[in-house]
Amino acid sequence: MQIIIVGCGNVGVALTEQLSGEGHDVTVIEQRRDVIQTLVNNFDVMGIVGNGASYSVMKDAGIEYADLMIAVTGNDEFNLLCCLIARKAGHCNTIARVKNPIYKKEVDFIKEELGLSLIVNPEELCANEAARLLKFPAATKIETFARGRAEIVHMTVAEDSRIASKSLKDLQSEIKSKVLIAVVERNDEVFIPRGDFIICPGDELTIVGASRNIADFFRKIGLPTTRVRSAIIVGGGSTGYYLAQQLITFGIDVKLFDRDIERCKALSELLPSALIINADGTDKDTLMEEGLMGTESFVATTNVDEENIMLSMYVKSVNPKAKLITKVHRVNYGDIIDTLQIGSIVYPKHITAQRILKYVRGMSNSLGNNSIEALYKMNDGKVEALEFLVTENSKVIGVPLAEMNLKKGVIVSLINRHGEIISPTGQSTIQAGDTVIIITSCMGLQDISDILA
């Protein structure tokens, strides 16, 4: 597809890298010349220095022939204007990044009147991610596949874990679980494990299976499978508000801190079931007075990354049993944060890019360009989870998995057959119409047949 991206911040760069790598014809528009030069040098894209809301700039970028225009600058109104111009000038599909909560109630109106294909709200997506994690506190990350019927869940093996120092084969014989431990990361080294692989304390496991089967697996190894009952949220911005709103509907007791008195008054009206506390959430004495030691979860959602990280480190030291979630904007903090072991980290920019990529792949499939339903990068990009739609002429149909000549580093982790989630064995076969989740360390797979050696 021919795709134009306006705005080359972290989201724009992530989209550019992924979409150009998947073979799309990408043009990027950005007013900073040095940023454009870097992207053109690093990726197979065309770059234009200019104002993305300008008709002449859009025309130079090929808007008349584009299939999709994505506006992901930091300015909501600018993004919407870009979409309006692109829609009128090129009649292409358009996606806008819009984060102001004011527009949330008007999403349907804006989409219809401006002809937008998708509006992405980073703050709301971030809150959705945090809410999923609080519903399943033993997980550090959760990604849904097969239209929500299957999940890829990440967890860390504790020192006293029941599964530590056991091989996958022995573990399966002991607990007879219908999930697959698809990836193990140990000391920055990634493994696609076989049956004789021994799990060690500190390992980061990636588990694939139907949602109910993952819950059953966690239950059998002694990890909590029920949502938390209480949460302290520091930061009353959009993310904190959206998250508190969801948690209240789950029946979770919510305390929300914000230092702005006017914002607290507004939140009190918007969230009458939550306890809104007008205080500095970084003040440890105040946190203690409001029940930090007894809370089951703690979420840091301020707009200052360093503040969020330090808060989570402090809570870990005084209440190690609490589920921790930390919002971080700067993606280049990843390597440092991983060493701190402060629970789950949510990156609004990553989540936004993934949501847009999901739409693009669906659009590409409808045009017959590929069969990727979803793609999820894991372990710092070293491993990919791909969901493929199997067509009638596929080479993998009808062959038992044990007899397939798979590429090294490829594992068939799950089969979705008309809504039935199958954890495959060596005798399982793939049929036309199935969607199949592949876990692989081989990058660049475009079709299910690419798994064959």
Between 382 and 68, the higher pLDDT residue: 68
* Least confident residue range of 148-152, 270-274, 321-325, 329-333: 329-333
Given a cut of 70, whether residue 56 has pLDDT beyond it is yes
Instruction: Look up residue 8 and give its two tokens.
Output: 């080359």
Instruction: Look up residue 45 and give its two tokens.
Output: 């894209």
Given a cut of 60, whether residue 369 has pLDDT beyond it is no
Instruction: Look up residue 35 and give its two tokens.
Output: 């940023």
Q: By C-alpha distance, which of 12, 7, 107 is closest to 349?
A: 12
> What is the phi/psi pair of residue 311, to 5°?
-60, -45
Assigned architecture for domain 2-120: 3-Layer(aba) Sandwich (3.40)
Strand partners, 325: 299, 344
Q: CB under 8 Å to 106, separation ≥6 — which residues?
A: none
Task: Please report which confidence band the pLDDT of residue 172 belongs to, taking 50, 70 and 90 as the band edges.
Answer: confident
User: Is residue 427 a contact partner of residue 442, using CB atoms and an 8 Å limit?
Assistant: no
Q: What is the pLDDT of residue 43?
A: 92
Q: What is the pLDDT of residue 99?
A: 86
pTM: 0.83
Instruction: Say which DSSP state 260 is in.
Output: -
Alpha-carbon span 101 to 117, nearest angstrom: 19
* Least confident residue range of 83-87, 100-104, 191-195, 435-439: 100-104
Average pLDDT of span 61-84: 93
Count how many residues are written for the chain: 453
Average pLDDT of span 166-195: 89
- What is the C-alpha R_g of the chain? 23
Q: CB under 8 Å to 164, separation ≥6 — which residues?
A: 157, 158, 199, 200, 201
User: Is residue 232 a contact partner of residue 255, using CB atoms and an 8 Å limit?
Assistant: yes
Residue 23 region by backbone torsions, left for phi larger than 0, else alpha for psi between -120 and 50, else beta:
left
Alpha-carbon span 211 to 63, nearest angstrom: 42
Q: In this predicted model, what pLDDT tens digit does every residue of 293-336 receive, in sequence order?
A: 999 999 999 999 999 999 999 999 999 999 999 999 887 666 67
**Could you state, in order of their start, the residue ranges of all structural domains in the chain?**
2-120, 126-130+227-350, 355-451
Assigned architecture for domain 126-130+227-350: 3-Layer(aba) Sandwich (3.40)
Percent of the chain surpassing pLDDT 90: 52
Q: What is the pLDDT of residue 387?
A: 87
Q: What is the pLDDT of residue 107?
A: 80
Q: By C-alpha distance, which of 222, 193, 194 is closest to 205?
A: 193
Q: In this predicted model, what pLDDT tens digit does every residue of 216-255 receive, in sequence order?
A: 999 999 888 888 999 999 999 999 999 999 999 999 999 9
Pairing of strands 93-97, 68-71: parallel
Task: Please report which confidence band the pLDDT of residue 341 belongs to, taking 50, 70 and 90 as the band edges.
Answer: confident
Q: By C-alpha distance, which of 108, 100, 69 is closest to 86?
A: 69
Q: In this predicted model, what pLDDT tens digit does every residue of 74-106 receive, in sequence order?
A: 999 999 999 999 988 888 999 999 988 788 778
- Return the CATH number of the domain spanning residue range 355-451: 3.30.70.1450
Q: What is the pLDDT of residue 329?
A: 86
Q: CB under 8 Å to 173, separation ≥6 — which residues?
A: none
* Least confident residue range of 1-10, 179-188, 374-383: 374-383
Given a cut of 90, whether residue 340 has pLDDT beyond it is no
User: Is residue 93 a contact partner of residue 67, using CB atoms and an 8 Å limit?
Assistant: yes
Virtual torsion, Cα 196, 439, 335, 29, nearest 10 deg: 170
Alpha-carbon span 232 to 253, nearest angstrom: 9
Given a cut of 70, whether residue 441 has pLDDT beyond it is yes
Q: By C-alpha distance, which of 273, 323, 271, 274 is closest to 295?
A: 323
Instruction: List the Cα angle 127/267/124 in 5-degree steps.
Output: 20
Same fold, 126-130+227-350 and 355-451: no
Q: In this predicted model, what pLDDT tens digit does every residue of 399-421 receive, in sequence order?
A: 999 899 888 889 999 999 988 88
Alpha-carbon span 24 to 377, nearest angstrom: 18
User: Is residue 415 a contact partner of residue 149, using CB atoms and an 8 Å limit?
Assistant: no
Q: By C-alpha distance, which of 141, 160, 166, 162 is closest to 152?
A: 141
Instruction: Say which DSSP state 407 is in.
Output: P
Alpha-carbon span 196 to 437, nearest angstrom: 23
24-33, 130-139, 442-451: which is most confident: 24-33
Query: Strands (DSSP E) along 174-293, which ranges?
Result: 180-186, 189-191, 204-210, 230-234, 253-258, 275-278
